[in-house]
Amino acid sequence: MADSPAPRVLRIAIPSPLRRLFDYLPQGAPPQGGWSPGLRVRVEFGRRQVVGVIVDCRDDSDLPLAKLKPIQACLDKAPLPGDWLWLCRFTSRYYQHALGDTLAHAMPVLLRQGRPLEARVRERWQVALNGDPARLGRAPRQAELLEMLRQHPQGLTTQVIQAQSFTRDQLKALEAKGLVSCHEETLTGPTPDDSQGLLASPALALNDEQAKALNQLHQGLDRFHPCLLHGVTGSGKTEVYLQLIEAVVAKKRQALVLIPEIGLTPQTLGRFRQRFRVPVVALHSGLTDHERLDAWEAAASGRAPIIIGTRSAIFTPLARPGLIIVDEEHDGSFKQQDGLRYHARDLAVVRAKRHGIPLLLGSATPSLESLHRARTGDYAHLRLTRRATRHAPARLELVDLKGRPRRGGLIPPVIDAIKATLDAGHQVLVFINRRGFAPTLACHACGWMAECDHCDARMTWHRQPPMLACHHCDRRRVIPDACPDCGSADLRPLGSGTERTEESLAETFAETPVHRIDRDSTRAKDALEKMLTEVRRGEPAILVGTQMLAKGHHLPHVTLVVVVNADAGLYASDFRALEHSAQLLEQVAGRAGRAAHPGRVLVQTMHPDDPSLRLLAERGYDALAESLLEERRIAALPPLRFMALIRLEGPREDALTALAREIAGELREQVRSLALDLDCLGPVPAPMERRQNRYHLQIALMAERRSQLHPALEWLAHRLEAWPEARRIRWSIDVDPQTLS
């Protein structure tokens, strides 16, 4: 690098939604390795000063050099990791998102603001081994300090020492006398010392299926080896992860583990930290900006051998990548639904391939995408068909809701089953996917229902605190005393939410604690963990909760799971609704009977004869997934075809429709002239056409081959960016959309 001539132009990605790069002139001495892609620079952009990233060093520009501004400063001594930059460029191209914005999204806030990427260190002071006490002299405070340090053989940090009213000068004086020594340590923990072995607690002896899966995984440690670990709930997938990670870390490589947002609980982290002696670094939304930077640095420098994080952790640079695991790979939280609409699981595949390392996707209910790839042989398909614990997962028992009286959403035979379970000394989990007291408030005299003024949606009735709330736009209203249409005072709840079911169960089972677990009841920090700790003590109890409870938790004393209503996904317009709802049902059902006693799962439904529901109940998720894949093939839908969705929204329906038609027309024209093999559908109204008082339309692109999609999308993005009328609306491109809403 040092001999190559200095470039005349730096092409820089600026954090902005504009899909283009900007040229600047170098200025000041280049860093040691010379000007190169990945260096952050401070530049003037319009009237602002921003932090950009060099993505190209060139000798020419499309503009005359005299028109270019020089950069203000280079912020890095060395470029940000090349693989990280590569992944960001890929992401930007694939998801049609501006590179500058993608880079900003993929780095910690403090780096975005221009802070250096370096480990924060602190000093630790210890009593020196061969110090000569005679050298202390007459220094009473220093003598006290020395005595305090003697009592802490592992040493104390400067901060702790100063908190005891000692000064740095006193420490320095002792150091000069050779009585204490000081060393620096990073905040994320020391560099791993594996002289004591990697494991803090021993691995479990694997059962046959686990051993077979692990064995196959061991064969592919040195290459790109994508595997689907498809194991029923409680089959011990996590144990397989732990033992595979052990093998990777033993080879001095790093493992990156992605888990769903609600899966990153202290319990999960605890399981990893208990097993390994080496540091396990967590990356999630609960970190401060400094902690996040520290974790990123520890991963980028290679000091952290194991990194666990939620969606955005896929962008964590690794110095010695060895393995990527995506746990609960079907989970919706891996897809970002706004801004940069990436899918962390799909990027994990791309990244593992680039690094030439194994990729492990784990789930009891794999996405149809991953199942399809396992069927076509793109992924190795590893099966765990039995639970690691004593009892097999319970089958779903469908319970007919039609024409039966309900209390808090539950019918009498279900309430009896709850009673029997509690009498036997066990716990019950009641799953209901609606928070609030009731889905809405209705007038019994005229049929009026509380609707949101801004959305095509009903408002949910909440009791704690009392209000009507729209779950789509967050508007709130006071609960009316009388019907706004006919004046009748006969206003009643329609349907049940978590609050109503909790209230009714607390009445029926006055002696038993009822814990409600949903977004509202767990707002306070640690509220969820406190409730779960209480529940894990094992006294009879009822848990009422939304999908927060459905996934990943190991609740050993739950033997009965009740699903209040299984019908949400059955007749929805979104073609993925049934897949997602079946995954959720199977996951909830998987919470039952995970320890000493077998489980039972009661599923209330208005449609006990629905063929899909019956297939799920009688033959399980895998059979339903097979049949759904077949339907997708016949209907030519993903994952058998590739899809992108263009969403358009604006304040006026007619203007939006006119513009959307024009856009779709031009797009079709372009598809013809580029001779692309793809279908362009729409514009059609979004499933909820009016949301937050804005109208929503969509255009869908479908193609047999992915390569056909991208030229059309790229053209469209540039066209829309340059189209003056399009400034009056909001538009976005969603590649591989996970929902049509």
Ligand X SMILES: Nc1ncnc2c1ncn2[C@@H]1O[C@H](COP(=O)(O)OP(=O)(O)OP(=O)(O)O)[C@@H](O)[C@H]1O
Per CB under 6 A, does 593 bind ligand X?
no
483 annotated as belonging to a binding site for a ligand: yes
By the 10 Å C-beta count (0-12 exposed, 13-18 middle, 19+ buried), 412 is classed as exposed
Give dist(CA 549, CA 516) in Å, integer: 10
Distance of CA 387 to the CA centre of its chain: 26
Give dist(CA 403, CA 405) in Å, integer: 7
Q: Which residue has the tokens 């909001």?
A: 730
Residue among 529, 31, 635 at smallest CA distance from 270: 529
End-to-end CA gap in the chain: 50
Binding ligand X (rule: CB under 6 A), the pick from 63, 121, 204, 486 is 204
The radius of gyration of the chain's CA atoms, rounded to the nearest angstrom, is 30
**Structure tokens, 324:** 């990527």
State which residue, 234 or 495, has the beta carbon closest to ligand X.
Answer: 234
**Structure tokens, 168:** 């740095």
Give dist(CA 280, CA 295) in Å, integer: 10
Q: Which does 231 bind (CB under 5 to 8 A by kind): ligand X, Zn ion, none?
A: ligand X
Binding ligand X (rule: CB under 6 A), the pick from 237, 303, 690, 691 is 237
Q: Which does 152 bind (CB under 5 to 8 A by kind): ligand X, Zn ion, none?
A: none
Bridge partner residues of 287 (DSSP): none
Per CB under 6 A, does 389 bind ligand X?
yes
470 annotated as belonging to a binding site for a ligand: yes
Query: Cα angle at 490 between 484 and 492, to 5 degrees?
Result: 95
State which residue, 126 or 265, has the beta carbon closest to ligand X.
Answer: 265
DSSP 458: B
Give dist(CA 219, CA 735) in Å, integer: 34
- Mark 435-454 with x for binding to Zn ion (rule: CB under 5 A) and - for no binding: -----------------x-x
284, 292, 360, 407 from 525: Cα distances, Å: 14, 19, 32, 32
Q: Which does 109 bind (CB under 5 to 8 A by kind): ligand X, Zn ion, none?
A: none
Q: How far is the CB of 689 from Zn ion (least distance, A)?
A: 13
# binding residues, ligand X (CB under 6 A): 19
- Mark 470-499 with x for binding to Zn ion (rule: CB under 5 A) and - for no binding: x-xx-x------------------------
Task: For the segment 144-203, give every residue that binds ligand X (CB under 6 A).
Answer: none
Q: How far is the CB of 422 from ligand X (least distance, A)?
A: 24
182 annotated as belonging to a binding site for a ligand: no
**Structure tokens, 193:** 């010392």
- 3-class state of residue 316 by DSSP: coil
- 3-class state of residue 65 by DSSP: helix
- Residue range at the interface with ligand X (CB under 6 A); choices 227-235, 287-295, 307-315, 661-669: 227-235
State which residue, 208 or 338, has the beta carbon closest to Zn ion.
Answer: 338
Q: Which does 388 bind (CB under 5 to 8 A by kind): ligand X, Zn ion, none?
A: ligand X
Per CB under 6 A, does 236 bind ligand X?
yes
By the 10 Å C-beta count (0-12 exposed, 13-18 middle, 19+ buried), 374 is classed as buried
The set of residues, in sequence order, having a beta carbon less than 8 Å from that of 326 and lying 6+ positions away, is: 258, 334, 344, 345, 348, 359, 360, 361, 362
CA quadruple 605, 611, 613, 615: dihedral sign: positive
Binding ligand X (rule: CB under 6 A), the pick from 207, 612, 670, 732 is 207
Give dist(CA 545, CA 433) in Å, integer: 7
Q: Which does 269 bind (CB under 5 to 8 A by kind): Zn ion, ligand X, none?
A: none
Q: Which does 470 bind (CB under 5 to 8 A by kind): Zn ion, ligand X, none?
A: Zn ion
473 annotated as belonging to a binding site for a ligand: yes
Binding ligand X (rule: CB under 6 A), the pick from 23, 209, 239, 734 is 239
Q: How far is the CB of 67 from ligand X (least distance, A)?
A: 59
Q: Which does 454 bind (CB under 5 to 8 A by kind): Zn ion, ligand X, none?
A: Zn ion
Task: For the segment 54-93, give every residue that binds ligand X (CB under 6 A).
Answer: none
The set of residues, in sequence order, having a beta carbon less than 8 Å from that of 341 and lying 6+ positions away, is: 95, 97, 335, 732, 733, 734, 735, 737
Residue pair 516/479 in contact by the 8 Å Cβ criterion: no
Per CB under 6 A, does 235 bind ligand X?
yes
Q: Which does 210 bind (CB under 5 to 8 A by kind): ligand X, Zn ion, none?
A: ligand X
Give dist(CA 292, CA 107) in Å, integer: 10
State which residue, 234 or 321, has the beta carbon closest to ligand X.
Answer: 234
# binding residues, Zn ion (CB under 5 A): 7
103, 260, 465 from 544: Cα distances, Å: 41, 21, 18
Q: Which does 143 bind (CB under 5 to 8 A by kind): ligand X, Zn ion, none?
A: none
Binding ligand X (rule: CB under 6 A), the pick from 155, 231, 408, 569 is 231
Give dist(CA 437, CA 463) in Å, integer: 6
Q: Are strands 396-400 and 600-605 parallel, antiparallel or unpaired?
A: parallel
74 annotated as belonging to a binding site for a ligand: no
- Residue range at the interface with ligand X (CB under 6 A); choices 48-56, 234-242, 621-629, 715-723: 234-242
Binding Zn ion (rule: CB under 5 A), the pick from 213, 304, 455, 625 is 455
Q: How far is the CB of 100 from ligand X (least distance, A)?
A: 39
Residue pair 570/613 in contact by the 8 Å Cβ criterion: yes
In the chain, the amino acid numbered 283 is L
Per CB under 6 A, does 554 bind ligand X?
yes
State which residue, 354 or 454, has the beta carbon closest to Zn ion.
Answer: 454
Per CB under 6 A, does 234 bind ligand X?
yes
Helix intervals (H) in 73-193: 82-94, 99-105, 109-112, 140-150, 158-163, 168-176
Q: How far is the CB of 475 from Zn ion (least distance, A)?
A: 5
- Residue range at the interface with ligand X (CB under 6 A); choices 17-25, 90-98, 133-141, 236-244: 236-244
Binding ligand X (rule: CB under 6 A), the pick from 80, 364, 469, 532 is 364
443 annotated as belonging to a binding site for a ligand: yes
State which residue, 367 or 504, has the beta carbon closest to ligand X.
Answer: 367
State which residue, 266 or 480, has the beta carbon closest to ligand X.
Answer: 266
Binding ligand X (rule: CB under 6 A), the pick from 374, 388, 531, 555 is 388
Task: For the segment 700-719, give every residue that binds ligand X (CB under 6 A).
Answer: none
452 annotated as belonging to a binding site for a ligand: yes
Q: How many CA atoms does the CB half-sphere of 436 hold within 13 Å?
A: 22
Q: Which does 455 bind (CB under 5 to 8 A by kind): ligand X, Zn ion, none?
A: Zn ion
Distance of CA 424 to the CA centre of its chain: 38
Q: How far is the CB of 473 from Zn ion (least distance, A)?
A: 3
Give dist(CA 334, CA 312) in Å, integer: 8
Q: How far is the CB of 360 from ligand X (least distance, A)?
A: 12
Other beta carbons less than 10 A from residue 720's beta carbon: 21
Helix intervals (H) in 252-305: 266-275, 289-301
Question: Which H or E element spans position 666?
Answer: helix 653-673
- Residue range at the interface with ligand X (CB under 6 A); choices 20-28, 206-214, 453-461, 605-613: 206-214
Q: Which does 472 bind (CB under 5 to 8 A by kind): ligand X, Zn ion, none?
A: Zn ion
* Annotated binding-site residue numbers for Zn(2+): 443, 446, 452, 455, 470, 473, 483, 486
Going by the annotation, the residues of the binding site are 443, 446, 452, 455, 470, 473, 483, 486
Q: Which residues bind Zn ion (CB under 5 A)?
A: 452, 454-455, 470, 472-473, 475
Site of interaction with ligand X (CB under 6 A): 204-207, 210, 231, 233-239, 364, 388-389, 552, 554, 590
